[in-house]
């Protein structure tokens, strides 16, 4: 898993750099629809070219400010209540390494969003950064559960054990500072990658507590992806998924924001 992470980290920046924003990718037609943020259809949110929005029916989506984080400070507590009824498994060396690796990835997301919030003062970055802190704290709880030394959460912003992660943080924040469009695409790509890595983490373990933890982190990442894509589409630009399938990407965007804590180890959206 460690080697896979390094590969994905490298591939991440290559893909992100190749997918720079361009006005030439705007759909034909009227562009973004008028309305309140990212709505699920009926013109209440953004539109793809014809102002019709995505999907059918009146969804809840984002509010007018584009806030897109979990917005529930009880996430860690609620997840902990679910995990309290599950006996810890016997995490293998690979599973333990994955816990640390996912914690580093959540920290990267938090650090990048905090930096981009300081640059652009756009609520979506600050709001989602708070969610990423909740995710990092939940992984910290899991490390304590399995007796794994936490070498991640105490490091300062932009500091990581992995040189590749340090380089990635520098590159992503520099790219995100270049333009607001690039910053939003950085956010979408981080969540895209995070979902892919969490899918792999779930597939490699038989421990229900680890699966449920990763399921809930992935639920959060899907919400974050919806938020960033909603902001991107309001600019009349498409985001193309880099790591998850186009089919799964469209499935995520077709549904409303997910709220409830997932208590099923093998949950499928």
- pLDDT (tens digit, 9 = 90+) per residue, 145-196? 999 999 999 999 999 998 999 999 999 999 999 999 999 999 999 999 999 9
Q: Give the global pTM.
A: 0.77
CATH number at residue 133: 1.20.1260.10
134 domain-assigned: yes
29 domain-assigned: no
Number of domains in the chain: 1
108 domain-assigned: yes
Answer whether 194's CB lies under 8 Å from 105's CB.
yes
47 domain-assigned: no
267 domain-assigned: no
Query: What sign has the CA pseudo-torsion 192, 197, 200, 205?
Result: negative
150 domain-assigned: yes
* Alpha helical stretches, state H, the chain: 2-18, 75-84, 93-120, 123-145, 163-178, 180-204, 208-234, 246-254
261 domain-assigned: no
pLDDT at 72 over 60: no
pLDDT at 74: 80
- Report which of residues 71 and 158 the model is more confident about: 158
57 domain-assigned: no
pLDDT at 121 over 50: yes
User: Per-residue pLDDT tens for 39-67?
Assistant: 333 333 333 333 333 433 333 333 333 34
Tokens (6 digits) for 170:
């520098």
Which of 61-75, 152-166, 193-207, 223-237 is predicted least confidently? 61-75
Which of 37-46, 120-129, 133-142 is predicted least confidently? 37-46
**Helix/strand/coil for 264:** coil
Q: Which domain holds residue 147?
A: 70-254
Mean pLDDT of the chain: 80
């Amino acid at each position: 898993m460690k080697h896979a992470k390094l590969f994905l980290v490298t591939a991440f920046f290559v893909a992100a750099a190749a997918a720079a924003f361009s006005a030439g990718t705007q759909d034909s037609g009227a562009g973004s629809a008028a309305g309140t943020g990212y709505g699920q259809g009926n013109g209440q949110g953004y539109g793809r070219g014809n102002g019709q929005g995505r999907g059918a029916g009146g969804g809840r989506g984002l509010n007018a400010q584009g806030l897109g984080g979990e917005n529930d400070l009880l996430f860690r507590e609620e997840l902990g209540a679910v995990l309290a009824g599950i006996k810890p498994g016997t995490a293998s060396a690979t599973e333990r390494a994955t816990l640390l690796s996912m914690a580093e990835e959540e920290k990267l997301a938090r650090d990048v969003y905090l930096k981009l919030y300081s640059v652009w003062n756009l609520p979506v970055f600050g709001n989602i950064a708070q969610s990423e802190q909740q995710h990092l704290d939940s992984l910290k709880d899991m490390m304590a559960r399995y007796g794994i030394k936490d070498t991640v959460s105490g490091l300062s912003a932009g500091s990581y054990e992995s040189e590749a992660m340090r380089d990635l943080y520098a590159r992503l924040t520099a790219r995100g500072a270049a333009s607001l469009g690039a910053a939003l695409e950085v956010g979408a790509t981080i969540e895209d990658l995070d979902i892919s890595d969490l899918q792999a983490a779930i597939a490699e373990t038989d421990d229900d507590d680890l699966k449920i933890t990763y399921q809930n982190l992935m639920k959060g990442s899907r919400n974050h992806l919806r938020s960033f894509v909603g902001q991107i589409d309001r600019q009349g630009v498409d985001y193309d998924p880099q790591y998850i399938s186009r089919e799964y990407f469209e499935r995520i965007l077709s549904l409303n924001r997910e709220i409830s804590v997932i208590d099923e180890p093998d949950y499928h959206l």
